Amino acid sequence: MSLFKRGNVFWSYVWVDGVRHQLSTGTSNRKRAEKIDSKHKEELNDRRFQIVEADPNMTFAELDARFIASGSVRPHHIYHSQFLLPFFGDVPVLRITKSLTEEYRRARHSGSSIKEATINRDLSVLRHILYWAVDEQLIPANPLTRLRMARERRTRRQVLSVAEEQLLLSAAQGHLRTMIILALDTGMRRGEITGERWEDIDFAQKVLYVTRSKTPEGESREIPLSARLLKLLGAQRQTRGLVIEFRGRPVKIIKTTWKTAFRISKLRHVRFHDLRHTFNTRLMEAGVMQEVRMALMGHSSGSRVHSTYTHIELPVKREAIEKLEKWKIHEENLLKEQPTDQKQENKHASTESERSESGPPSSGSSTAGRGEARTQSLEKEDAR
């Protein structure tokens, strides 16, 4: 017996795992109260065994609004949602299917030269939101669990030559110049650089510790400081606080200063993240083993056997940075030996080679040829 009358109204009392749940039926009619009581028991039982009864009328726009309000959203979720909402916004969540994602893909391709990789990122966000809905018991299952993404073409990753580095550094000022040198000499991501603190730099041991990384593998990794970086940071040294600041405030966006530096230097445009690729490529050309490069850059070791137990000691990392410095000195010496007119020719040839998808490098440009070889020799693991 779970129905009890209090005054003129029946109440439903149900015990689940020792916890009492009560509900007013709002009626004095016993038959109607028994139906409400039965439904109350069924809902509690479904909740106990995590049986979800989704709202058939909830649209994706409503689900996306709940997801954003949950606080577990990231900037790229909001960015890709602006492309998902016009197509999926009014569609009930329970009617989202794999065939509908194919229609979305065709619609995104219509009238534009958008890449498959971009659409894959859109659909990955869509799938993530649906997984969140499953965790929140808003839908019983994710219909896009085994969604197959389109094959993506491997794009050429641009690498900065030593000559281009010199031009870029001469055009960059203040915190941007420090960020560029940090990226080129440590391989750190932009977010890791802007989050680096003076407390995490050991000047006595000449080691920088990365304690704020986007990946678990990159957390708390140690990177030996190059001579150039040690001198630069030593001149700016503080006891605490962020290493990269602008007028006493944290640096989040460098879009304007980055474009300005390239306009002044008249270089081909590259992304800031390409400086990380440059660091990896230079280490590779200096003869540093893949495992050491991965440890320095905080790359995931994947599913290799015994990879969990692999640890690169600090002396090995120091040796890798020393090889990088020697390689750079050698490249700078080669650059000094070139005639001025040949340097200009190399610069223009490198620019045209990178801008063209199929154009061959200039036959008279040894520096451009080396830059092309570096770009094509990047390994798949650097895509992370």
What pLDDT digit, counting tens, does each position of 162-202 carry?
999 999 999 999 999 999 999 999 999 999 999 999 999 99
pLDDT-based confidence at residue 353 (cuts at 50, 70, 90): very low
Q: How far apart are CA 367 and CA 95, in angstroms?
A: 56
| pTM for this prediction | 0.62
Higher pLDDT, 232 or 216: 232
Residue from 303, 306, 308, 278 nearest 293 by CA:
278
DSSP string, 253-314: --HHHHHHHHHHHTPPP--TTHHHHHHHHHHHHTT--HHHHHHHHT---TT-TTGGG----H
For the stretch 14-65, pLDDT in tens is: 888 788 888 888 899 999 999 988 888 877 776 666 665 667 889 999 999 9
Q: For residue 372, what pLDDT band results from cuts at 50, 70 and 90?
A: very low
Q: Indicate the residue type of 100.
A: L
Answer yes or no: is pLDDT of 148 > 60.
Answer: yes
Structural contact between residues 67 and 113, judged by C-beta atoms closer than 8 angstroms: no
Over the Cα atoms of the chain, what is R_g?
Answer: 29
Residues 369-376 have a mean pLDDT of 41
List the single range of 63-72, 85-94, 198-207, 279-288 with lowest mean pLDDT. Answer: 63-72
Beta-carbon contacts of residue 125 (< 8 Å; ≥ 6 apart): 76, 77, 80, 81, 84
Query: The tokens 């570096």 sit on which residue?
Result: 374
For the ranges 85-99, 102-116, 359-373, the one whose mean pLDDT is highest:
85-99
How far is it, in rounded angstroms, from Cα 313 to Cα 297? 14
The pLDDT score that the predictor gives to residue 45 is: 77
Between CA 326 and CA 332 the distance in angstroms is 10
Residue 380 confidence (pLDDT) above 50: no
Question: What pLDDT shows up at residue 381?
Answer: 40
**Local confidence band at 331 (pLDDT 50, 70, 90 cut-offs):** very high
- The phi and psi torsions of 153 (rounded to 5 degrees) equal -75, 135
How high is the pLDDT of residue 358? Answer: 35
Minimal CA–CA distance to 185: which of 317, 36, 11, 365? 317
Number of CB atoms found within 10 A of residue 187's CB: 25
pLDDT over 80 at 77, yes or no: yes
CA distance 125 to 63: 13
Condensed to tens digits (0 to 9), the pLDDT of residues 273-309 reads 999 999 999 999 999 999 999 999 987 655 444 444 4
Mean pLDDT over 363-379 rounds to 40
Quick one: which of 285, 303, 283, 309 has its CA closest to 294? 283
Residue 70's pLDDT is what?
86
Q: What is the mean pLDDT of residues 85-107?
A: 94
pLDDT of residue 218: 63
In this prediction, residue 336 has a pLDDT band, given cuts at 50, 70 and 90, of confident
What is the pairing mode between strands 201-202 and 207-210? antiparallel
Write down the mean pLDDT value for the chain: 83
